[in-house]
Amino acid sequence: MSTTPVETRPMGLVVAIDGPSGSGKSSTSRGVATRLGLRYLDTGAMFRGITWWMLREGVDVHDAAAVAARAEEPEVMSGTDPSGPGILVAGVDVSLAIRSDDVTSAVSPVSAVPAVRARLLDLQREVIADGGIVVEGRDIGSVVAPYAQVKIYLTADSSARAERRAAEEGGSDIDATRESLLSRDKIDSGRATAPLVMANGATHIDTTPYSLDEVIDQVVALVEAVGEHA
């Protein structure tokens, strides 16, 4: 378990953006960070990085005990520049490798292992500690940074999410992509440790009918409103 106290709050602004796969978290988070001159952290990339390392080391990702036994080993360093955050795992730039089909199909079981979540929770809070950051994931507002001044929960209908993800992947089969996303939702929402939920105090935005710029505008307006009342 993490020993980092939840009450340790950064001095600067923290914007937490959560939601399921394909809801627009990454594009929105990077856009908001760029617009407001803030840092950016993709916690999902960290889980993918650990997953990539487990696969490289030949660890059975479906054996929770085997994954937990090695969760502390790889060094993980996340960039925070929204224009190109990057991520290093064990000294290797895995920014592209973590988007492979192998990693995508294995990240859910790895992410569900409590030892992995505890390890990355500490690393995430270290990055967040200085504030001035937009953080995206599935448990940011509920677990990682419940003190965030702005909490957003993005969703979209499954068809829109599948179309977006398929386009990102260069034209993947939309029906297969939709089934994959729904399967990931079930795992993420049902896991015992830090499940995907809408955090208390979060603003829900259904991104289905909006363009990316319109979603960014909504989030920026919420952030600026908090600043006006700070």
Alpha-carbon distances, residue 71 vs 61, 119, 127 (angstroms)? 11, 7, 19
Which residue range is the domain that position 198 belongs to?
A: 14-223
Residue 8 lies in a domain: no
Would you say residue 229 has pLDDT above 60? no
Q: Side chain identity at 25, as an amino acid letter?
A: K
CATH number of the domain residue 146 falls in: 3.40.50.300
Domain count, the chain: 1
pLDDT at 71: 98
Taking alpha carbons only, the member of 149, 158, 49 closest to residue 99 is 49
Q: Between the CA atoms of 153, 108, 175 and 98, what dihedral angle is there, to the nearest 10 degrees?
A: 90
**To the nearest whole number, what is the mean pLDDT of the chain?**
89
Residue 148 lies in a domain: yes
CA distance 129 to 169: 33
Q: What pTM was computed for the model? A: 0.86
Q: What percent of the chain has pLDDT over 90?
A: 70
pLDDT tens, residue by residue, 12-68: 899 999 998 888 899 999 999 999 999 999 999 999 999 999 999 999 999 999 999
Q: Are 21 and 184 in contact (CB under 8 A)?
A: yes
pLDDT tens, residue by residue, 106-153: 998 999 999 999 999 999 999 999 999 999 999 999 999 999 999 999
Residue 165 lies in a domain: yes
pLDDT at 4: 40
Map tokens 């990931």 to a residue. 184
Residue 98 DSSP code? G
Would you say residue 228 has pLDDT above 90? no
Would you say residue 183 has pLDDT above 80? no
Residue 197 lies in a domain: yes
Residue 230 lies in a domain: no
pLDDT tens, residue by residue, 202-223: 999 999 999 999 999 999 999 9
